[in-house]
Structure 1
């Protein structure tokens, strides 16, 4: 059996939504959703939370996650990247516990819409395609080749005017990162130290299945999506 680690990244600081990672979402702390999804998936030998915050540690442990060590102050500020945090976790597991993992899945704490089946599909792709990473993506609803900008004079113009008369169906679809998780091959991640590379695979999901949560309006939209998906 492959050794697989789930890493849920949840620092204490949050400027736009205070205490965002443990704020109640449909009645329970939002971080409990990815913890439960990771545990229910049965994919991971360990489900851990990387945090610098004792309250987040306590809540995470109450919902079944491990918090075997606290995140360093260096990787708890606004400038630390997700890759920095993952690297610290993997290196600490090896140094403190002699544990090495073949795969790791970094899951964001504000991913209440994430489904365990998607994690399983991502792992399958990672293994069968020998990819560096797999992560969910969402298709742009309109062709980005027809994107508009406002010029210096305040008038609207196309970024790629050569696509003005091209039919939408003839333009290559484009996607954006859904911002839920990254399933990683640990060996290649330790070398390249990137969440996605030239050997990464996108797993397409609908825009109903994910929601960026950066403000209170986003939060309400995410709760509405959750109720639509899980009303049963």
Structure 2
């Protein structure tokens, strides 16, 4: 029998054995070790009494403590591998709390350091939702599923297909997506679990699971996902200042024109508004274009006139960018990420 207190503890699992992105949990992300963001978000949520870092690494434990977490034990190697489960991690932590402190919390807030794109208010909202619904065993954050599972299949060794979802909707796999039920994908961001669910039902979810609907999914498992998540994180916290931004012209500021007749180009007003906001935030704006690189035609007068007429705020305009079909850059900011400025008041 466990002594359940009224405490809410955030548990952040951060093992050291990541292979695709080595030591990703302490890799610098937006100026801090990745795991530090989850610790600070929990502490700033107002809904968590303390943060417990569950790790198998003394180095990770010390970093966690620097940012306000407790790390009173090291997780054993046998439950810190690639196939180790959340349930093993939680039961180990709860067993330590019961033996060393005489009680276990009412709620566990599970924050994965590999999804730092959250607000402290999201954590508070999830805890409050579970309080409001005593019939629920847990809360799980989800996003609208980008692909419908009604069109997904299992494939056996003979190549034969069976639907992933058994449904009374006849041939759901062949119906228009718009006519199928909405589905949701867990985004590995926030789980809030009644401790009784873990200890008495031997589950990290239970039978009745509530939802916290979110907009993004950024669970980091590759270098590319790390970079995308970091971009989104930085922009969601406001427009950076004191930076240099280099913008292409055609396709970003100006419409693409047939035959590269740039006199016919029109302004992409949404992007121009975003560029101007970045300019006004105290950043250095450079425009770099390939206009004329392939043909030798001088488009400088036309381009400068367009930038002035369209109200594009910038510091410098450069020509001579090599014409290419694709550009690959490690500091790329996508147009999708740029559009996040619209969410910043």
TM-score, scaled to structure 1: 0.89
Unmatched segments (≥5 aa) in structure 1: none
What does residue 182 of structure 2 align with? 173
Structure 1 contact 213–219 (Cα < 8 Å) conserved: yes
**Kindly tell me: are residues 228 and 149 of structure 1, through their superposed partners in 2, closer, same or farther at Cα, counting changes over 3 Å?**
farther
Task: Please give the residue correspondences for 1:83-232 in structure 2 after superposition, counting only pairs within 5 Å.
Answer: 83-130=87-134, 131-147=136-152, 162-163=171-172, 166-207=175-216, 210-232=217-239
Structure 1 contact 149–159 (Cα < 8 Å) conserved: yes
What does residue 270 of structure 2 align with? none
CA distance, structure 2, for counterparts of residue 48 and residue 3 of structure 1: 12
Which structure has the larger Rg over C-alpha atoms?
Answer: 2
CA distance, structure 2, for counterparts of residue 102 and residue 221 of structure 1: 35
Greater RCO structure (CA 8 Å; 6+ sep): 1
Q: Which runs of 4+ in 1 moved over 4 A?
A: 148-154, 156-161
The SS at the match of 2:171 is helix
38-47 or 71-80, which deviates more: 71-80
CA distance, structure 2, for counterparts of residue 62 and residue 164 of structure 1: 51
The SS at the match of 1:180 is strand
* Structure 1 residue 53, shift from structure 2 partner: 0.3
CA distance, structure 2, for counterparts of residue 142 and residue 188 of structure 1: 30
* Structure 1 residue 231, shift from structure 2 partner: 2.6
Structure 2 contact 52–70 (Cα < 8 Å) conserved: yes
What does residue 19 of structure 1 align with? 23
158-167 or 185-194, which deviates more: 158-167
TM-score, scaled to structure 2: 0.61
* Structure 1 residue 111, shift from structure 2 partner: 2.2
* Structure 1 residue 90, shift from structure 2 partner: 0.7
Structure 2 contact 46–124 (Cα < 8 Å) conserved: no
Structure 1 contact 138–205 (Cα < 8 Å) conserved: yes
What does residue 57 of structure 1 align with? 61
* Structure 1 residue 29, shift from structure 2 partner: 0.5
CA distance, structure 1, for counterparts of residue 137 and residue 151 of structure 2: 31
CA distance, structure 2, for counterparts of residue 11 and residue 157 of structure 1: 37
* Structure 1 residue 152, shift from structure 2 partner: 8.0
Structure 1 contact 33–111 (Cα < 8 Å) conserved: no
